[in-house]
Amino acid sequence: MPRVHIHPVHVEFGDCDPAQIAYFPNFFRWYDAASRHFFESCGVPPWRELERSVGIIGTPVVEANSTFVRPTSYGDSVEVHTWVDEWREKSFVMKYRLMRGGVLLAEGRDVRIFAIRHPDDPSRIKAVPVPEDIRRLCE
């Protein structure tokens, strides 16, 4: 069974469209925040510290999708259940389940990489192999 982190989210009025339903891009914003909180809960230092120590600037998304099951609206308290579903050589798959009171609202998945600044052009990034020490912390 993978390690799961539960990230609470309070849906705000500004998260919703004119029909008062949470606007779908916010689900991806919540997934992204839940991803970072997952790593923190596993004991991984903040990205700015990792950049100073080993050069890793974060885990950018290279692929993302979500299936929306039920709506949510402002005032709702929801939870993003997050885990690493698959470790690969230079990427990993994170999964997300957005829940409200035990009811599934959405399921998401993204593929991420561990990135450093590209040595030839610091305005670009470069994928590096998944650090074994971080993987061990997260399993």
Instruction: List residues with catalytic annotation.
Output: 17
Q: Is the distance from CB of 59 to CB of 114 less than 8 angstroms? A: yes
* Cβ atoms within 10 Å, residue 16: 19
What is the separation, in whole angstroms, between the first and last Cα of the chain?
9
Q: Is the distance from CB of 73 to CB of 58 less than 8 angstroms? A: no
3-state secondary structure of 27: helix
Q: Is the distance from CB of 5 to CB of 34 less than 8 angstroms? A: yes
Taking the C-alpha atoms of residue 62 and residue 126, their distance in angstroms, rounded to an integer, is: 12
